[in-house]
Homo-oligomer: A and B are copies of this chain.
Amino acid sequence: MTLLSGALKINSGELVDTIHQTAEKFGAKNRWGPEPTQTGVRRLALSDYDKEVKDWFIQQAKSLGCKVIVDEVGNIFATFPGKNRDAKPTGMGSHLDTQPTGGRYDGIFGVLSGLQVLRTLKANDYVPNYPITLVDWCNEEGARFPMSLMSSSVWAGISTKEHVYGLKDVYDNKTTVLEELNRIGYKGSVESSHVANPLNCHFEIHIEQGPILEMMGKRIGVLTSAQAFRWLDVTFKGMPQHTGTTPLEYRRDALLATAKVITGINEIGKKHHGVASVGMMSLSPNVVNVIPGEVSFVVDIRHHTDEGLHKIYTDVRALIDEITLNKAGNGIPLEVEIGDPYPIPTTVFHTDLVDLIEECAYSVVGEENTHRMVSGAGHDSCATGSVIPTAMIFVPSKNGISHNPEEYTKPDELEAGFRVLLETILRYDQERVE
């Protein structure tokens, strides 16, 4: 198949340059090597750096002739005009926020690849048939405000603005999303809704964040689905007592109970061929010679099927109940509080769009370098996928490392991914006409 993008002049290297320039300007952190580009990025959602990169993004989009709107939960929609001005735009997007110890690619690569698509159209005076909207979804990571896919979920109607406005900064347990949206000037006036502010579809390109493409020697992953996941907020309450004077049989040790959960869920994850682990924990009073009286932690469970997730979930709940009642503190029951606010089911991507991406990938990098796969992580496309046709493209991650300063994808792999996205957007725009 002939490449539609083959007719366009492409500014090779501009995308990679933009990735590094914005990383350096907006939150470069955690050096891991001697090269200027060898740092990670710390750009927490709704922080000053997030505001600055949003400002920069809007300025870039406007310079390309885009109309920019910000919705009431901080999502930015930059729309490049098409011939058919009143049609729903073709959508693409990802997120510009990072984890506290994040790298330069996760999310950012997706938004900047979209920007590179628009830059390429503009540079070639290419007018698409339909408008093309590039979205920076707000707070995908859920690292500072603990809800991943936060604002894409509101747009998709999975969550509400009232819920997310009240979320509190995990670092001070005080500052809310609403306060920070107001502070940085990104509480827009447009309703956050896929009905009021629609897209015709959503394409997202992202780094894999896992080791599969690299291990298989593939260049492009074509995603058929994203695995289901669920987060359980658990707090065990025991009794803070002196470690020296309290015999083991009289203890109500909230950390021992937590440790039993962490080891137990690992076995449960294995048993059901999914994953289950804990990444975040806080303990009180957190003193050497005091038994922890209270421990809060978040259980992260994932499976490529909803049924598998449910099996893991059921076993994890049973384990927590058993530990709460019988096992922790060596026989003395603890108190427990459990919240599981937003289970995300398996997202099955739209068959037509998956096939379209695959065709484009075959054309750009060859069938032998293309691999159909399931996303291990959640992405904004999991939210959009619940309401509009959605599909995703992956590029390899070196050593499968992500959410880490050393996250890395080679320039030619980034470029190849961008070209698949560009071709996909052009063909989608073409096929809507034909």
Give A residues with C-beta under 8 Å from B.
Answer: 99-101, 141-143, 146, 148, 208-211, 227, 229, 231, 239-248, 250-251, 253, 255-256, 258-263, 266, 269-270, 275, 277-293, 298, 300, 302, 330, 375-378, 400-404
With A242-B403, A246-B210 as known contacts, state yes or no: A263 contacts B263, CB within 8 Å: yes
Residues from chain B with a CB closer than 8 A to the CB of A239 are 401, 404
Given known A-B contacts A242-B210, A279-B292, A101 and B266 have beta carbons under 8 A apart? no
A248 touches B231 (CB 8 A): no
Please classify the interface of chain A as helix (H, G, I), strand (E, B), loop, or mixed, using the class held by over half of its residues: loop
> Is the beta-carbon distance between B100 and A378 smaller than 8 angstroms?
no
A300 lies within 8 A of B283 (CB): no
**Is B101 a contact of A244 with CB atoms below 8 Å?**
no
Q: CA–CA, A426 to B296, complex, Å?
A: 51
* A290: chain B residues within 8 A (beta carbon): 99, 101, 279, 403-404
Interface centre among A211, A241, A242, by most chain B C-beta atoms within 10 angstroms, is A242
Our pick among B286, B293, B375 for the contact of A281 (Cβ within 8 Å) is B286
Identify the 7 closest CB pairs spanning chains A and B, nearest first: A210-B245, A245-B376, A259-B262, A244-B377, A259-B259, A101-B285, A209-B245
With a cutoff of 8 Å between Cβ atoms, the chain B residues found around residue A401 in the complex are: 239, 241
Is B281 within 8 A of A403, CB to CB? no
**Contact in complex: B300, A289 (CB < 8 Å):** yes
Beta-carbon contact of B270 and A402 below 8 Å? no
Other-chain residue from B240, B251, B255 in contact with A403 (beta carbon distance below 8 A): B240
Residue in chain B with minimal CB distance to A262: B259
Q: Are A256 and B266 within 8 A (Cβ)?
A: yes
Which residue of B245, B259, B302 contacts A244 across the interface (Cβ within 8 Å)? B302
A353 to B299, CA, bound (A): 54
Looking at the assembled complex, report how far the CB atom of A214 sits from the nearest CB atom of chain B, in whole angstroms. Answer: 12
CB distance from A329 to the nearest CB of B (A): 10
Complex: how many Å from CA A278 to CA B400?
A: 32
| Smallest beta-carbon distance A395→chain B, Å | 13
Contact indicator A242/B280 (Cβ below 8 Å): no
Q: Are B101 and A277 in touch, CB under 8 angstroms?
A: no
Residues B275 and A243 in contact, CB atoms below 8 Å apart: yes
Q: How far is the CA of A42 from the CA of B337 in the complex (A)?
A: 27
Q: Provide the bound-state CA to CA distance between A403 and B241, in Å.
A: 6
Task: Please indicate the chain B residues that have their CB under 8 angstroms from the CB of A260 in the complex.
Answer: 259, 263
For A289, what are the chain B residues with a Cβ–Cβ distance below 8 Å? 141-142, 148, 279, 300, 377, 403
- CB-CB under 8 A from A210, the residues of chain B are 242, 245-247
Check A287–B100 contact: CB distance below 8 A.
Answer: yes
**How far is B281's CA from A259's CA once the two chains are assembled, in angstroms?**
12
Question: With A245-B377, A255-B262, A275-B243 given, is the CB distance from A287 to B403 under 8 Å?
Answer: yes
11 A-B pairs whose Cβ atoms sit less than 8 Å apart in the complex: A211-B250, A229-B244, A243-B275, A244-B378, A245-B400, A248-B277, A251-B277, A259-B262, A280-B288, A281-B286, A288-B300
Q: Complex formed: what's the CA distance from A275 to B250 in Å?
A: 11
For A377, the closest partner residue in chain B by CB is: B244
Q: Which residues of B contact A375 (CB under 8 A)?
A: 244-245
Instruction: Tell me the minimal C-beta distance from A396 to chain B in angstroms.
Output: 12
Measured between C-beta atoms, what is the minimum distance from A243 to chain B in Å? 5
Contacts of A246 in B (CB 8 A): 210-211, 275, 376, 400
- In the complex, which residues of chain B have a beta carbon less than 8 angstroms from the beta carbon of A285? 99-101, 403
Asked whether A244 and B275 contact (CB < 8 A) given A263-B259, A285-B100, A290-B403, the answer is yes
A282-B281 Cα distance, complex, nearest whole Å: 9
A429 to chain B, nearest CB (A): 31
Q: Could you tell me the distance in whole angstroms from the C-beta of A49 to the nearest C-beta in chain B?
A: 17
Return the contact of A293 from the options B143, B208, B378, B404 (Cβ within 8 A). Answer: B404
The distance in angstroms between the C-alpha atoms of A251 and B400, with both chains bound, is 10
Known: A244-B375, A290-B403, A290-B404. 13 other contacts (CB 8 A): A99-B287, A148-B289, A211-B246, A244-B275, A244-B377, A246-B275, A248-B266, A248-B277, A256-B277, A266-B330, A277-B291, A281-B283, A285-B403
Assembly CA distance A291 to B241 (angstroms): 30
